[in-house]
Amino acid sequence: MIGEKQSLMKNDVLWNALGSMTYAMASMVLAFFVLRILGEKEGGIFGFGYSTLGQQFFILAYFGIRPFHITDMRGEFSFRDYHYFRILSSFFAVLLSIFFLLYQYTNGSYTVEKVSILFFLCLYKILDGYIDVYESELQRRGKLYKTGQSLFFRTILSVFVLLCGLLLSKTLLLGVILMNLSQVLSLYLFAILPLEETRELGAVHFIGEKTAFTQKMKALFSGSVFLFLSVFLDFYVFSSSKYAVDAVLGSSSSGIYNLLFMPSNFIYLLANFIIRPALPTLAGLWQSGDKLRFKKEESSLMKKVLLLSLLLFGLAFLLSPLALWILEKLLGPAFSGKITGERWTFCLLILGGCFYALANLEYYILVTKRQQKRIFTGYALGAVLSFFTADLMVQEAGFFFASIQFVLMMLFLFLFFLFSGSHVKIAGRKGK
């Protein structure tokens, strides 16, 4: 029994799945309870700040460097190098969030209350991006289960603290401040302490070594900036309809739309459970030049993700009236008719999530083929299209056109990546 308990506590797959699922579920759970406890307006501010604006600044702090970090098994860069770089990116993210919020306040888009709440939600997510450097290092040192445990326990603590704060004070600003304090405590308990128990890879570099330090920061920047820009634009395209709803229809509508939107994130998460385990095999076949087996594996993945997408869309189409009715009843009488009346919006958002899952598959295939420029081009074009269409479509027909805009943008990404990848020829032998 003791041996089984120890193996469970050190199970990489178990804790990675628990951490990822808990982190993904937190946004939906919190969005629901804030709407239920505080109502549409503050629920809308929270939903937008937590899952949209805050996540955009998380990406800035994160800077797309984790894939580079966790695969640096030779210790080319020390943890201190990665740590200093993440401090810089996080500081830059805080500055940009302040400038953005001040701009929105000065042009009359945001109130003082909204700016204050959004700032602390952005700060919470930026801290998320900072803590990731510790979790990445734990993974690099062969302690993936500790990475999953950190993500799991700190997410649970943040959810608990925020909900207790809201129930006791009924004040969203105080709740998100307390959530930030819990994040700082989590940093120490679940990231710093576990890392101190492991052995460092690579040489230690001191900031006093000015030339070496500057060179390493430049090397980390150049090695990750392209991926960062792609991820940053990807999230903007994915969230452009949410930005538009908040800007055009206001916080109250934003909260409801954000809640309807959230299941789209889970389709992407479920698809990744199919895609990511197959990536090492796919990369090996591409690098060895085995064209026939690569095509077979690619086709198999496409069929699996497509089947998952059809299943989930079918369930959404059939069960959405009941599911939305239950959700509306749970939210309370103040939301009567506001959720059940959005069945087709919900179904379209699920469809958009399905296209995003397919686009994500094609993204990984392009990464395998080392076609980063085509990936960036797709996201850049998608960002331009989103910028010029999102607000206009929401102004035209509210939630319904917002969901159509989401579907069209996800379909565009899928088709662009699909046809971009089809022109890349595999080098080497033709097959076995």
pLDDT of residue 169: 92
pLDDT of residue 102: 96
Residue spans per domain, the chain: 1-228, 262-424
pLDDT of residue 432: 42
pLDDT of residue 8: 64
What is the spatial distance between Cα 12 and Cα 17, in angstroms, rounded to a whole number?
8
Return per-residue pLDDT of the chain as tens, 432 residues. 444 455 666 777 788 888 888 988 898 899 999 999 998 899 999 999 999 999 999 999 998 888 778 777 777 888 999 999 999 999 999 999 999 999 999 998 899 999 999 999 999 999 999 999 999 899 888 888 898 899 999 999 999 999 999 999 999 999 999 999 999 999 999 999 999 888 776 554 444 455 577 888 888 888 778 878 888 999 999 999 999 999 899 888 888 999 899 888 888 888 877 876 777 777 777 777 777 887 888 888 899 999 999 999 999 999 999 999 998 998 888 888 888 889 999 999 999 999 999 998 888 888 777 777 888 899 999 999 999 999 999 998 889 999 999 999 999 999 999 888 665 665 554 444
Distances (CA, A) of 271 to 144, 154, 275, 366: 21, 25, 6, 17
285 and 293 in contact (C-beta within 8 Å)? yes
Which one, of 82, 23, 397, lies nearest residue 245 by Cα? 397
Number of neighbours of residue 265 by Cβ within 10 angstroms: 17
What is the spatial distance between Cα 336 and Cα 367, in angstroms, rounded to a whole number?
46
Which one, of 265, 263, 267, 259, lies nearest residue 330 by Cα? 259
pLDDT of residue 7: 65
Segment 383-420, tens digit of pLDDT: 999 999 999 999 988 899 999 999 999 999 999 998 88
Q: How many residues does the chain have?
A: 432
What is the spatial distance between Cα 26 and Cα 158, in angstroms, rounded to a whole number?
9
Q: Which residues contact 233 (CB under 8 A, 6 or more apart)?
A: 376, 379, 380, 382, 383
